[in-house]
Each structure stands twice: as structure tokens, then as C-alpha cells.
Amino acid sequence: MQGAVLEVRIKRKKGEGTVPATCLSLVEGHGIEGDLHYDPEGASKRQVLLLDRRTLEAEGYKPGVLREQILVDFEPLESLEPGARLRVGSAILEITTDCTPCATMAGYVGEDAQTFVQRMMHRRGMLAKVIQSGTVTAGDSVELWK
């Protein structure tokens, strides 16, 4: 199965959303260069947040509201298990876990915490770590990697 990158975004400051970027430079073991979640130690499971467009469309959210860094058109994204690998642009990512919705995120979108968390469970995107450096831009392909 193949999909596409629709938009790339970067998060500069805590408490703020992601902002559009032209290109993301992903660094093996560390994450997105220049992003708040860039991990110099290489220990974080939250180096990159991928989100399928269907979640935004279903909820009526605009890109970036859920703090995603890579918005994709890749329907099987939410069903991937930890350890699954994706080639995204020229980088390879490994899924670590789904991104658990929280009360803080509910506040960012102006919704009741309990309602938001229940509705968005297993739908807020997938967290991944970078296992091969590369670049990602809108229009790049997304595909399962062996």
C-alpha cells in the first residue's frame, strides 16, 4: 500500500502548534532537525508524529491543530503496530506507539477533556522514531517498508 505526504510542519515552541514547513530534515535516532521534539540523546519515542488526513476531516480540524508534523494520506496508518516501518520521502521511520490524546490537547482545541480523550483514542496519529535519515516534503510517497 502506498500513500502520500500532504503537508509537513514543525513545532518550534512548547504550547504552540506546528507551523507549515517547506521540507523536514529527519536525523536518524534524533527526529526532525529544528523541531521542539528533536532528541539529542536519541531516547525518545516521540521524534515524529504522523497523522492521516481522515482524522482531521472527520473532526473538522485544520492541519496543525493536533500538533502533527507529517500529515499523510495513508489509510492504514492508525492500524500499524509498533515496529512497523514506513518510508516517508527519503527517510525511514519506525512506529513506536499511537499518540494518546490528553487533557492538555483538549484544552488546545477548546474541548472538554474527557469527551476529547474518549473520542480521539487511537485516532490522534502515530508516533515514530527516525531509523534512517532523509528529507520529507509535501508530495513525497509513504509506503510500508520491509
Amino acid identity of 144? L
Q: What is the pTM of this model?
A: 0.94
Give the cell for residue 1. Answer: 500500500
- How confident is the model at residue 11, as a pLDDT? 92
Using one digit for the tens of pLDDT, what is the confidence trace for 90-120? 999 999 999 999 998 898 889 999 999 999 9
CA–CA separation, 77 and 12 (whole Å): 25
- How confident is the model at residue 108, as a pLDDT? 87
Sequence-distant (6+) residues with CB within 8 A of 20 are 7, 8, 9, 63, 64
- How confident is the model at residue 96, as a pLDDT? 95
Question: What residue ranges of the chain have pLDDT lower than 70?
Answer: none
Domains of the chain (ranges, CATH numbers) = 2-135 (2.40.33.20)
Distance of CA 141 to the CA centre of its chain: 15
Distance of CA 56 to the CA centre of its chain: 13
Sequence-distant (6+) residues with CB within 8 A of 104 are none
CA–CA separation, 19 and 68 (whole Å): 10
- How confident is the model at residue 42, as a pLDDT? 79
Q: What is the end-to-end Cα distance of the chain in Å, rounded?
A: 12
SS3 (DSSP) at 66: coil
